[in-house]
Amino acid sequence: MKILLTGRAGQLGWELQRTLSPLAEVTAFDRVGLDLADPGAIARVVRAVKPQLIVNAAAYTAVDRAETESESAHAVNAAAPEILVREAGRLGAALIHYSTDYVFDGNKAGAYDESDAANPAGVYGRSKLLGEQAISASGVPHLIFRTGWVYSARGRNFLLTMLRLAREQAELKVVADQFGAPTWARMIAEATAQVIARCGTDANGIVETIHGQRGIYHLTAAGRTSRHGFAEALLREAGLATPVHPIATSGYPLPAPRPMNSELSCLKLAARFGVALPDWESSMRLCLGEIGPGR
Ligand SMILES: NC(=O)c1ccc[n+]([C@@H]2O[C@H](COP(=O)([O-])OP(=O)(O)OC[C@H]3O[C@@H](n4cnc5c(N)ncnc54)[C@H](OP(=O)(O)O)[C@@H]3O)[C@@H](O)[C@H]2O)c1
């Protein structure tokens, strides 16, 4: 089976390239090889590679910058997935795509499930929702995995930022009223590989199986914490004594609004595919182990 992977230089794309390679022939692209803001390039590259499965890990993820760069966010997060899924349909291929907790406004009291209405509060969330909608409406076999609070040992993320700031500053202030599940990109990649393996790695069989199971699935680590809880657990585990003071979201204003509740229920994924991620704290420890003592 041939997989075309986008976003290979990103947190998730890097992990996917590594994790999917034993399962299939993976042709992976970074922005230089395939610029998703260029519709002609998408069609050209997909038609040249002729994959049975497209895995789209690329995205415009600069949540705050998106507020003033909505055209770029829409090109990559809304228009590009629409073209990717159209090209997949043309080839008789399937698409795996990733989306975000930011499609929700964060006002729900409990965990969001896939049937909850989306209501994004910012440009990034709206652009990602448009991408989801284009894929869902296409009729092409697809799986959309919504995740949240993604970190990894490389790239730009909350975990690496906290480790750096804890060394640079005498104390940290971190918001304590936003809740979610910190999710290691490797775990998302491994869950994706398990789902693909369960769908079968036979080129035609997988497209049919994905078609039968098509839809949106929530995919985050188990458990729930606040940004502050995550930072405290992280520094404790990393052996850093820098105090972390809890503050309210209103004390740390940012251009884009954040959902206060990002908790996603992953029961549908477990029921359909038998796949569930470990709790956020054990994954965090594994990731710290990967980063090593120099952290
Ligand atoms: N990060 C999170 O906390 C989070 C939370 C929820 C959902 N998600 C979703 O999870 C998925 C993976 O995110 P991630 O954390 O791996 O993001 P990431 O580390 O920012 O990686 C995204 C990748 O997309 C690439 N990209 C951006 N614009 C592009 C373009 N025009 N053409 C081609 N590639 C382009 C970036 O390339 P450059 O390196 O050149 O910029 C980057 O390598 C995305 O769908 C994201 O929306 C992420």
Give the model's pLDDT for residue 202: 80
Residues in the chain: 295
CA–CA dist 195, 24 (Å, integer):
13
The verdict on the CB of residue 79 being under 6 Å from ligand 1 is no
The verdict on the CB of residue 144 being under 6 Å from ligand 1 is no
What is the Å distance from ligand 1's center to 213 Cα? 25
The verdict on the CB of residue 9 being under 6 Å from ligand 1 is yes
pLDDT tens per residue, range 265-287: 999 999 999 999 999 999 999 99
pLDDT tens per residue, range 31-59: 999 999 999 999 999 999 999 999 999 99
Residue 124 falls in the annotated catalytic set: yes
pLDDT tens per residue, range 110-128: 999 999 999 999 999 999 9
Q: Which of 150, 154, 264 is the pocket-test mutation for ligand 1 (most atoms within 8 Å of CB)?
A: 150
Confidence of residue 72 (pLDDT cuts 50, 70, 90): very high
CA–CA dist 96, 87 (Å, integer):
13
pLDDT tens per residue, range 201-255: 787 789 999 999 999 999 999 999 999 999 999 999 999 999 999 999 999 989 9
Catalytic residue among 124, 151, 217, 252: 124
CA–CA dist 279, 86 (Å, integer):
36
The verdict on the CB of residue 148 being under 6 Å from ligand 1 is yes
β-bridge pairing 225-226 and 179-180? antiparallel
Predicted TM-score (pTM) of this structure = 0.97
Confidence of residue 295 (pLDDT cuts 50, 70, 90): low
Ligand 1 atom closest to the CA of 72, numbered from 1: 31
Judged against a pLDDT cut of 80, whether residue 293 lies above it is answered with no
Judged against a pLDDT cut of 90, whether residue 62 lies above it is answered with yes
